[in-house]
Amino acid sequence: MQADTIARMAPKDLIGKRVSILDKGWIELQDVMGDDLAIVNAARVSFLGESKGEEKDKRLLFYLMEHRHTSPFEQVEFKFRVRAPLVTWWQWVRHRTWSFNAQSGRYVAFDEDDFYVPSAWRMQSPTNKQASLGALPNELGEPLTQALLAHYEASYRLYRQALEMGVAREQARLFLPGFAVYYTWVAKVDAHNLMHFLALRMAEDAQYEIRVYAQAIYEHFFKPALPWTAEAFERFVLQHH
């Protein structure tokens, strides 16, 4: 990957862009503050300096990344709106440097299709307790998918039945299959902590259901908004991670 092949564009031009992920998920950029130059200027303010031209500015940014001078990267922030299943959300919230505000099943009723259906069934890794390895053959996976869909249908039918009986939404949702339910939330993070998230969650051993979101953030939002930072990130972080 070469970030300098990505056409530079104003980060604000990316606001409103939405990328589809998984079967029913998506991620949308709601707001962004700052760009590569904001990072450079934040570093130079230490001695009241200003931009010295593209070549020197880029060289300084690379120096900051290589030598782990992280605070200037915190001057750039991204805010996303995300729709993802709880199995993704459960991994994401472990990154406590993000700020989150999520949809609540206490206030909003779920729809019939608000459940994640995987495109393939992965097999358990024999050497890693928390990882998968390879896909289950289609002839074995298809009956599982049909069983999952039947489970969703029965669960949702009980959920609706409870609501119609007057049961509070906060209790009726107990009938729903927890890890499969799609939620929508707003998530905000600075560029430094976003890179930490990306380095971990784009890795091959990251769970697929969060890896695809991390890859979408990087390719569709981070690289176009911060091409110098992305190039330095690839050279000094991803290649050694």
pTM above 0.85, yes or no: yes
Dist CA 140 CA 123 (whole Å): 11
Q: What is the model's pLDDT at position 3?
A: 44
What is the bridge-based pairing of β-strands 77-85 and 182-190?
Answer: antiparallel
Q: Where in the chain is the domain with CATH 3.30.1360.170?
A: 3-103+181-240
Residues whose CB is less than 8 angstroms from the CB of residue 223 and which lie 6 or more positions away in sequence, other chains included: 3, 6, 230
Cα dist. 227→104, 124, 194 in Å? 36, 37, 15
Among all chains, which residue has been given the structure tokens 């934040």? 42
> 75 near 190, Cβ under 8 Å?
yes
- Spell out the alpha helix ranges (H) of the chain: 36-44, 54-66, 86-92, 138-164, 169-172, 191-201, 208-217, 223-225, 227-236
> 131 near 125, Cβ under 8 Å?
yes
**Angle in degrees, 0-180, between the axes of helices 54-66 and 227-236, rounded to the nearest 10:** 40
- Where does 3-103+181-240 sit in CATH, by number? 3.30.1360.170
The rounded percent of the chain whose pLDDT value lies above 70 is 94
Please provide residue 24's backbone torsions phi and psi, each rounded to the nearest 5 degrees.
-135, 5
Tokens of 72: 């200037």
Residue range 121-171, pLDDT digits in tens? 999 988 888 888 899 999 999 999 999 999 999 999 999 999 999 999 999
Residue range 29-55, pLDDT digits in tens? 999 999 999 999 999 886 545 677 899
Residues whose CB is less than 8 angstroms from the CB of residue 139 and which lie 6 or more positions away in sequence, other chains included: none
Residues whose CB is less than 8 angstroms from the CB of residue 74 and which lie 6 or more positions away in sequence, other chains included: 190, 191, 192, 193
Tokens of 172: 């009726």
For the cut 60, the answer to whether the pLDDT of residue 200 exceeds it is yes
Active site residues: 201
